[in-house]
Structure 1
Amino acid sequence: MYQLYFKRQPAIRFSRFSRKGYALFACLGREVLVGVLSVATLANAKAEGIGAKTELATDSLTRRELKLDEVVVTGSRAPLTALQSAKMVTVISRDEIRRAAATSIQDILKLAQGVDVRQRGPMGVQTDISINGGTFDQITILLNGMDIGSPQTGHNAADFPVALEDIERIEVLEGAAARVFGSSAFSGAINIVTRREAQNSLGLSSEGGSYGTIAAGGFLNLATGKVRQRMSGGYGQSDGGTENTYFRMRRTFYQGDFSGRRFDLFWQAGITSKDYGAGTFYGLKSDNQYEATRRLIASVGGRLRGLPASLVVEPMLYGHRDWDHYQWIKGKTGAAAGENFHRTDVYGASLNMHLVWALGRTALGGDLRRERIRSTAYGERLSPEDWRGIHGSSRQYERLGERTNTSIFLEHDVVLRRWTLSMGLLANGNSWLGGGLRFYPGIDLAFRPATGWKLFASWNKALRLPTYTDLYISNRAQMGDLHLRPERVSTFRLGANLRQTGWEARTGVFYSRGRDMIDWVFETSASTRYHALNIGRLDNMGASVDVKWLPREWWPLCPIASVRLGYAYIHQRHDTSQPIFRSLYALEYLRHQLTAEVDHHLFSRLSAHWALRWQRRMNGYHPYAKIDGKLLWTARRFSLFLQADNLTAHRYYDLGGVRQPGLWIMAGGNVRF
């Protein structure tokens, strides 16, 4: 049971320490919280970064949650502290994830300001994620710093092998970031950072609810000496909330790390497997589509420390293989019936080095990435002797597409008392483009006028290559174009963060100047297939504000834990020499996005979380409001929840003719040993 403490003094949190002998006398009679803020960059983010809790084996603070005044990570090649960071990065903490009325990572991202999540299937079966008016192919998605995007299509980029229980935090970086992540970070990046625990533990969870939905999962942490390991897995299935949207999902994830005196090692591997009814996902002419995807990912990296001149060297090897089996009409096989198979292989090596010297912090790195697709529909046609068999089918991979991407990064950061200046450059070459290296610069500036205040300004450029779907697809609903040109963008951003006791706020404006943008369009009213096309100039201009009230930092007994309100607005300007009758993605941006959340205590161990999302999408969509709720009972070793998605049972559309389900109720719990 919760205990009430009267005459309790507020805690003092130190951001600076003095050597003066009298410095701590003012703290007599009050609680003093001392914690260490660990910061990881998006570029080389590891699970040991910022956490909500600090592991203190013998300290009285072991079971006390330490509230960090700043939980901000940087997006630079060289690690910078939260105070020094020159990037605007939204961090969704583990506690926020636990309390949210969400069943998937995709549901969590819906509440991040500026992020557009367009679900086809429920519970994250298939989701298009974009940032600031971009498209789903224009962002980089990372798992512990590893790029897991696919050159086949961005539709399946969010096939995560981890569950919400595995996640420590989610980092969202808005705006072009090619000089940090490479050419695919066109409009932003999302990094999923998983948990790493220094104690042995076992956890089990299960849930069930509407439309025959059931799911179960578990994890095991093993910590022996300098080695920590975590294994997790899960299974879920449902009949789906609308016609032919059933699914079966399986996932397995393993990670580990070793900490030595001069070097660290970290590794991860994951498998996802999905089979689902694809309803009208890719066209209204068939409501009995089917898709199955498989993904295998792995990476191993290290950090070599203790070298001369404060040099740190961080190598990484990574790779993932994706399988995609699609049928226009479930059960009908063969190319003539609209059945396709694809196998995509991505593998590469990266190296990042950074050092601290008299003029600042300098980072130099490179990445060599190989992309290959074997397909029945995408790529150049092979001679019959080079065809490869397809497991479980009499068909063969008859086509092949290959390209190699080379990236060289250079960045320098100047960190002063109130200022941070970060300048960088990406030199990129791709075998598909030819013509040598192309250069994409960027600059970020942060100013800290007073405690708790930070002002930002940035300018960055980026490039995005067409996917193999953009280039080669040809079916009853879509037609690719081999003559597509890469997309180009310059992004300008201004913003401010304010953090004071009891509340925090952030606001920003941006202007994205895009050229040769790619979209799927009907060129005339008589068109029957969407055509991949460079639609010309596309400029996105927008502003956002996000305010959070934390009354318990003033009054610890307040029943309201937090109240958050956010709003984002985007205006788009499009100019093309070709007529466009209808757009499928790029022109279907969110003009208005309003989000509100309330987290409060009810009684005993019972708390509640409520979330409202109102949005208006352009290009013929009706605006709608959606309300979600969650009741959470938390004990020391277990928790129980009851949550409802779409309490008003409003039937809405996020993408094309894919109707979303009404009220969806789930109940479940987890136990930890």
Structure 2
Amino acid sequence: MNKQIFNKRSPILFKHFSRKGYALFACLGREVLIGMLSVATLTYAKADGISTRTYLADDSLSHEEVKLDEVVVTGSRAPLTALQSAKIVEVITREDIDRAEATTINDILKLTTGVDVRQRGSFGVQTDISINGGTFDQITILLNGVNISNPQTGHNAADFPVCIDDIERIEVLEGASARVVGSSAFSGAINIVTRCDDSSNIRVAANAGSFGTWDGNASVAIASGAWRNKVSGGYGQSDGGTQNSDFRKRQMFYQGTFSTLGLKLNWQAGAISKDYGASTFYSAKYNNQYEETRRYIASVGAELKPACKADGWLSTLTLTPTVYAHRNYDHYQLIKGMEGASAGENYHRLDVYGASLGMHFKWAAGTTALGADIRKESILSTAYGDYLAEEEYKNIHGSDRQYSRKGERTNTSLFAEHNILLGGFTLSAGLLAYYNSDINANMGVYPGIDISYRPNSNWKLYASWNEALRVPTYTDLYTSNSVQQGDVSLKPEKTSMFKIGAKYRTHGAELLVSGFYSHGKNMIDWVYETEEATKYHALNIGKIDNMGFTAEAILHLSELLPGGPLTRLKAGYAYIYQEHETDHQIYKSLYALEYLRHKFICSLDHKIWSKLSASWSLRWQQRMNGFHPYAKLDCKVMWTADNYRLYVMADNITSHRYYDIGGVKQPGIWIMAGGSIKFNL
């Protein structure tokens, strides 16, 4: 029997990989720096075929950050890793999600310094998400890189068809990003990346707690050869922590991949439904509103290398076609149980479908990406859109009413980008050419440039300038009821944003500081124009300049103080100052001027005993436009084993009653207990 003989060598330092024993093989097909030697790893290398046993030496970077360096993030049209990216992309890892006092994606985003989460209902029933002082309509939401934003209203943007246990990481792209992810990324984008496991397993999770709340989800992952498939589903309900805030929600999600030489396929499909008491969500005058939403999504994409055996730039050519679609239903009652248009009941059906084709290739001057996307948006409604002829009315399933109005528009986007990587320098420059059939104007061009420089392994410096636009939603254009009035003549919002930043990492510590300035024109807001006004009007209010900075620091105490009880300390602060020059008299603003002036977050993780640990988080914030500042303290205590977790968590320990938006009062202390278990197949 042959026995592998291992040569004795001095320690070798892998500078950009995790310290796991399999780290080299997890990055096969990429260039690896071993000491001062640059080698290309083999496509089908095996661990037992390497004849030199290596002993990994300690380096100056944290385990989690080193592993993250090799993750390809959504910061450019061509694939760049977090280390290479010229744009600031904050990545919320699976480890961050596990330690957070969170039951929903929205709860996780609250702990991101530059993100503003305005919660209307508990457990993410309805949440408004914005970035760097923008509004909830000014960000793009992506699921595995596919745009699932809702052009009816950003209020429903957080209807995610995935459970929190499905998520691998969340990428937060701050700043105008039209040329990277599309026109609606006015102030940033959020990309939710799910995990499709490399081994077959079954996961089951459940929790229950205050106010009659309980929630459960399960998933099955099957991995066989080049195929990966995973299906998950969940159900949750609650009596709600405040009056008329009860809810029921259900979700299902399926994803799969197939990989072979020169071809990778990926697909996903999901559904989520919510029925909830909407309290005073849209008007403080009515405290018994009700809403039902349904969302169905599907997409198929590919990564194709048609000339993998060719020479020159053709050998690096990659095509990335994608087709996608989603349908959204929204049933709203101004007074729960009251039917008919005269009672404020509305039905909406939104359809979005599109296709994109991207390509990128390397050549002597760098990496170039080109592509196009065409997206059709259509709404059938009892309130939004142009009136249909009576013979064109569409029946509404489950109701004796009919859709009597329709709106539709087509968005066409062309993009070009070039990336240069030279030593520690990265330059990414490009533009988006965009045409919307509703704007009745020529195609607009929105350029941008991002630059980063790494003078050494500790520092990274950023600078960027980007332009973007945001087309009014159907709600902005057509709403007409007793408390709101839209405007079909609204112009698209436009912005020009500058951003700079610096990141420093050393053994056991990280620091990120960034600043931004955005100049917005034709900004859209819902306002009372006079003190006597009884309706909010949607208006292009004029110019808004947002400027501010964020600072974050993380201490990996388990590395600085090995063996001690404290493991991690994170603190962050965001400040925003706004100047506005309005074209109309404004007495009260509903959204655009209600930005966060101050936001401070702090979290501490520590061990208690054996596998028992705790995580604490504090959030303090002050919102403009008449809101009182508040502080909120949360805690999670968990027992973590290899294949199961148990936890108890308390949200709002001090039971402080606060307001995130309008007259929607948030509940006091909310306690949940639960766990999850994994069975390997």
> TM-score by structure 2 length?
0.91
2:270 maps to 1:270: yes
| 1:457-496 superposed matches below 5 A | 457-496=463-502
2:335 maps to 1:332: no
Kept in 2, the 8 Å contact 1:216–1:236? The answer is yes
**Letter matched to residue 603 of structure 2:** E
Secondary structure of the residue aligned to 1:108 is helix
Kept in 1, the 8 Å contact 2:207–2:674? The answer is yes
Kept in 2, the 8 Å contact 1:375–1:400? The answer is yes
Q: CA deviation at 1:662?
A: 0.3
Could you report, residue by residue, the CA deviation over 1:222-274 in whole angstroms, capped at 9, with x for unpaired residues?
01111100100000000000000000000000000000111010000000000
Kept in 2, the 8 Å contact 1:74–1:86? The answer is no
Residues 585 and 384 of structure 1, relative CA distance in 2, 3 Å threshold: same
Which of 517, 539, 558 in structure 2 is aligned with 1:552? 558
Work out the number of aligned pairs and report it: 634
Kept in 2, the 8 Å contact 1:69–1:499? The answer is no
Q: CA deviation at 1:38?
A: 5.9
Secondary structure of the residue aligned to 1:214 is strand
Secondary structure of the residue aligned to 2:66 is coil
Residues 616 and 332 of structure 1, relative CA distance in 2, 3 Å threshold: same
Could you report, residue by residue, the CA deviation over 1:650-670 in whole angstroms, capped at 9, with x for unpaired residues?
000000000000000000111
Which of 638, 647, 671 in structure 2 is aligned with 1:665? 671
Kept in 2, the 8 Å contact 1:241–1:662? The answer is yes
Q: Distance in 2 between matches of 1:39 and 1:163?
A: 30
Residues 58 and 207 of structure 1, relative CA distance in 2, 3 Å threshold: farther
Query: Equivalent residue for 2:66?
Result: 69
Kept in 2, the 8 Å contact 1:595–1:611? The answer is yes
Secondary structure of the residue aligned to 2:183 is coil
**Stretch of structure 1 that moved more, 412-421 or 588-597:** 412-421
Q: CA deviation at 1:12?
A: 7.6
Q: CA deviation at 1:411?
A: 0.2
Kept in 1, the 8 Å contact 2:373–2:414? The answer is yes
Kept in 2, the 8 Å contact 1:323–1:342? The answer is yes
Kept in 2, the 8 Å contact 1:184–1:464? The answer is yes
Query: Equivalent residue for 2:642?
Result: 636
Residues 327 and 57 of structure 1, relative CA distance in 2, 3 Å threshold: farther
Kept in 2, the 8 Å contact 1:127–1:155? The answer is yes
**Letter matched to residue 572 of structure 2:** G
Gaps of 5+ in 2: 1-10, 30-44, 55-61, 308-313
Which of 312, 315, 318 in structure 1 is aligned with 2:318? 312
Query: Equivalent residue for 1:249?
Result: 249
Q: Distance in 2 between matches of 1:561 and 1:167?
A: 23
**Letter matched to residue 99 of structure 1:** R
Kept in 2, the 8 Å contact 1:13–1:34? The answer is no
Q: CA deviation at 1:419?
A: 1.3
Q: CA deviation at 1:32?
A: 7.3
Q: CA deviation at 1:557?
A: 1.9
Secondary structure of the residue aligned to 2:82 is coil
Query: Equivalent residue for 1:582?
Result: 588
Kept in 2, the 8 Å contact 1:254–1:269? The answer is yes
Residues 659 and 672 of structure 1, relative CA distance in 2, 3 Å threshold: same
2:207 maps to 1:207: yes
Residues 633 and 70 of structure 1, relative CA distance in 2, 3 Å threshold: closer
Secondary structure of the residue aligned to 2:80 is coil
Residues 153 and 31 of structure 1, relative CA distance in 2, 3 Å threshold: closer
Q: CA deviation at 1:82?
A: 3.0
Q: Distance in 2 between matches of 1:13 and 1:74?
A: 28
Kept in 2, the 8 Å contact 1:33–1:66? The answer is no
**Stretch of structure 1 that moved more, 371-380 or 69-78:** 69-78
Secondary structure of the residue aligned to 1:535 is strand
Kept in 2, the 8 Å contact 1:197–1:228? The answer is yes
Residues 344 and 32 of structure 1, relative CA distance in 2, 3 Å threshold: closer
User: Percent identity between the aligned chains?
Assistant: 58
Secondary structure of the residue aligned to 1:492 is strand
Kept in 2, the 8 Å contact 1:178–1:184? The answer is yes
**Stretch of structure 1 that moved more, 347-356 or 417-426:** 417-426
**Letter matched to residue 652 of structure 2:** N
Q: Distance in 2 between matches of 1:267 and 1:347?
A: 15
Query: Equivalent residue for 1:124?
Result: 124
Query: Equivalent residue for 1:5?
Result: none
Residues 604 and 324 of structure 1, relative CA distance in 2, 3 Å threshold: same
Q: Distance in 2 between matches of 1:204 and 1:58?
A: 34
Query: Equivalent residue for 1:96?
Result: 96
Q: Distance in 1 between matches of 2:590 and 2:573?
A: 24
Could you report, residue by residue, the CA deviation over 1:159-202 in whole angstroms, capped at 9, with x for unpaired residues?
01111110000000000001111110000000000012111100
Residues 13 and 215 of structure 1, relative CA distance in 2, 3 Å threshold: farther
Query: Equivalent residue for 1:236?
Result: 236
**Letter matched to residue 69 of structure 1:** V
Q: Distance in 1 between matches of 2:540 and 2:146?
A: 29
Secondary structure of the residue aligned to 1:517 is strand
**Letter matched to residue 414 of structure 1:** I
Residues 536 and 329 of structure 1, relative CA distance in 2, 3 Å threshold: same
Residues 130 and 36 of structure 1, relative CA distance in 2, 3 Å threshold: farther
| 1:392-471 superposed matches below 5 A | 392-471=398-477
Q: Distance in 2 between matches of 1:56 and 1:622?
A: 60
Secondary structure of the residue aligned to 1:516 is strand
Q: Distance in 1 between matches of 2:120 and 2:286?
A: 15
Q: Distance in 2 between matches of 1:456 and 1:335?
A: 52
Residues 39 and 607 of structure 1, relative CA distance in 2, 3 Å threshold: farther
Q: Distance in 2 between matches of 1:562 and 1:162?
A: 28
Q: Distance in 2 between matches of 1:407 and 1:70?
A: 34
Could you report, residue by residue, the CA deviation over 1:128-163 in whole angstroms, capped at 9, with x for unpaired residues?
000000000000000000111111000001101111
> TM-score by structure 1 length?
0.92
Kept in 2, the 8 Å contact 1:37–1:68? The answer is no
Query: Equivalent residue for 2:41?
Result: none
Which of 337, 358, 361 in structure 2 is aligned with 1:355? 361
2:166 maps to 1:166: yes
Q: CA deviation at 1:635?
A: 1.7
**Letter matched to residue 630 of structure 1:** K
2:79 maps to 1:79: yes
Query: Equivalent residue for 1:8?
Result: none
Query: Equivalent residue for 2:152?
Result: 152
Q: Distance in 1 between matches of 2:46 and 2:118?
A: 41
Kept in 1, the 8 Å contact 2:16–2:67? The answer is no
Which of 519, 543, 549 in structure 2 is aligned with 1:537? 543
Kept in 2, the 8 Å contact 1:12–1:31? The answer is no
Residues 634 and 12 of structure 1, relative CA distance in 2, 3 Å threshold: farther
Residues 74 and 203 of structure 1, relative CA distance in 2, 3 Å threshold: closer
Q: Distance in 2 between matches of 1:438 and 1:302?
A: 29
Which of 562, 565, 572 in structure 2 is aligned with 1:566? 572
Q: Distance in 2 between matches of 1:117 and 1:484?
A: 26
Kept in 2, the 8 Å contact 1:74–1:87? The answer is no
Kept in 1, the 8 Å contact 2:76–2:180? The answer is yes
Q: Distance in 2 between matches of 1:482 and 1:107?
A: 35
Kept in 1, the 8 Å contact 2:82–2:89? The answer is no
Q: Distance in 2 between matches of 1:16 and 1:237?
A: 44
Q: CA deviation at 1:567?
A: 0.2
Q: Distance in 1 between matches of 2:175 and 2:278?
A: 32
Q: Distance in 2 between matches of 1:36 and 1:655?
A: 49
Could you report, residue by residue, the CA deviation over 1:100-149 in whole angstroms, capped at 9, with x for unpaired residues?
00110000000101100001000000000000000000000000001111
